[in-house]
Amino acid sequence: MDNKEISQRKLLGIAGLGWLFDALDVGLLSFLIAALQKDWGLTPQQMGWIGSVNSLGMAVGALAFGLLADKIGRKHVFIITLLLFSIGSGLSAFTTTLAMFLLLRFFIGMGLGGELPVASTLVSESVAAKDRGRVVVLLESFWAGGFILAALIAYFIIPDYGWQSALIISALPAFYAIYLRLKLPDSPRFQAIKTKRSALQNVAAVWSKKYRRETVMLWILWFCVVFSYYGIFLWLPSVMIMKGFDLIHSFQYVLIMTLAQLPGYFSAAWLIERAGRKFVLITYLLGTAASAYFFGNAESLSLLITSGIFLSFFNLGAWGALYAYTPEQYPTEIRGTGSGMAASFGRIGGILGPLLVGYLIAQKTSIDMIFLVFCIAIFIGALSVLLLGKETKAMELE
């Protein structure tokens, strides 16, 4: 094995470990919402606000840290963001009020939202064009590992030891990832830039005539994907409870569905360098829309779990392709800004999705009608890629 392969694996491992802890935190949140509803007697609207405040923090973090990544480098932002959400997650275990929990969720969200686009940008810029899509999707696959870990912690820890224990467990290992990250080199492409432009110049460049089509496509795509993902997955355990299952069985069924995320990622990683980014994104988004429709309409347990498995498979495969596709739309000088702005706009969808579900449930809207809204949103996202997207397979980054 040559040094290049070793460094690529090392980069993937270190970046992926941080991604895993991100997913662990987001994954636990859906279970925490269900547990807090029992402990604190939350209304559906209050439950929706927990997910939405998290996404509000992610929107602010993606924008702020995306701009910062083009100023001080990918590596430093990578460390700051992980530190922010690790400390916030640990502190939130000791909260006794919803207001303080929401405040800490905002800061945790900032760290999460800032890290994800910066991590994919760093990996994109450090890997050869022929491997880039596959490696970024494999980076995304660590998300499934974190989500599976979250489901396991929720199933084995929360019912017996409480949600506070789950938060402490999720925060502690992240500090090891920070230690590893200190030894990580920054992106060679970023280091090669001689003159750094101002944040305002970078924002203007993202919306310049040359990149306007790519920016419009990404913003529509990100909004639709994030809106549907957080609307569906943050409410998944709670929806299972509404369909008549108790807390333990709901967590158990969601764990089964979550396991399907891994083959979703790996199949997308295999296809993305063969069939291309556009094919993977459109196919997996349409698969997500169909699965969401059947999940919302499922009456029997077997159909509920089967459609939930396909929902996880297609949705997370699409996420992998999204993170591979986004940094490829811009040159190095504005890559962090462009990726961060698209992710930030997408997080507005993440704010609206959980709030909308909470509102619709309070209005006695049926689950099948709620999931139909997400089906339409995902279809619009696929349409934006089909009509406005360009193929970037094996393309050298500018």
Q: What are the tokens at 369? A: 């009608």
- Nearest CA among 225, 162, 173 for reference residue 31: 162
pLDDT surpasses 50 at 93: yes
Rounded to an integer, what distance in angstroms lies between the CA atom of residue 281 and that of residue 302?
Answer: 28
Q: Residue 98: which domain range?
A: 10-180+209-388
pLDDT bracket for residue 397 (50, 70, 90): low
- Nearest CA among 199, 234, 161 for reference residue 333: 199
Lowest-pLDDT range of 254-258, 289-293, 388-392: 254-258
Q: Could you tell me if residue 132 is inside a domain?
A: yes
- Contact at 8 Å (CB) between 288 and 247? no
pLDDT bracket for residue 2 (50, 70, 90): very low
Rounded to an integer, what distance in angstroms lies between the CA atom of residue 107 and that of residue 54?
Answer: 8
Could you tell me which residue, 292 or 191, shows the higher pLDDT? 292
Could you tell me which residue, 170 or 396, shows the higher pLDDT? 170
Q: Could you tell me if residue 75 is inside a domain?
A: yes
Q: Could you tell me if residue 190 is inside a domain?
A: no
Q: 162-221 pLDDT, tens per residue? A: 899 999 888 876 777 777 777 778 878 888 877 778 889 999 999 999 999 999 999 999
Q: Could you tell me if residue 384 is inside a domain?
A: yes
Q: Which residues of 372-393 are buried (b: 16+ CB within 10 A; e: fewer)?
A: bbbbebbbbbbbbbeeebeebb
Q: Could you tell me if residue 188 is inside a domain?
A: no
Q: Could you tell me if residue 396 is inside a domain?
A: no
- Nearest CA among 269, 311, 330 for reference residue 135: 269
Q: Could you tell me if residue 200 is inside a domain?
A: no
Q: How many distinct structural domains can be found in the chain?
A: 1
pTM given for the model:
0.82
Lowest-pLDDT range of 64-68, 142-146, 253-257: 253-257
Rounded to an integer, what distance in angstroms lies between the CA atom of residue 249 and that of residue 258?
Answer: 14
The CATH number of residue 328's host domain is 1.20.1250.20
pLDDT bracket for residue 6 (50, 70, 90): very low
pLDDT surpasses 50 at 5: no
Q: Could you tell me if residue 204 is inside a domain?
A: no
Q: What are the tokens at 308? A: 């939930």
Q: 117-148 pLDDT, tens per residue? A: 888 888 888 887 788 878 888 888 888 888 88
pLDDT bracket for residue 398 (50, 70, 90): low
**Which of the residue ranges 2-11, 188-197, 340-349 has the most confident prediction, judged by mean pLDDT?**
340-349
- Contact at 8 Å (CB) between 133 and 324? yes
What is the three-state SS of 105-146?
HHHHHHHHHHHHHHHHHHHHHHCCHHHHHHHHHHHHHHHHHH
Residue 298, pLDDT score? 81
Three-class SS state of 96: coil
Q: What is the CA radius of gyration of the chain?
A: 20
Instruction: Cite the DSSP H helix spans in the chain.
Output: 3-40, 44-72, 74-92, 98-126, 129-156, 158-161, 163-171, 174-181, 188-191, 199-206, 212-233, 236-242, 247-258, 261-272, 277-297, 301-325, 332-362, 367-388
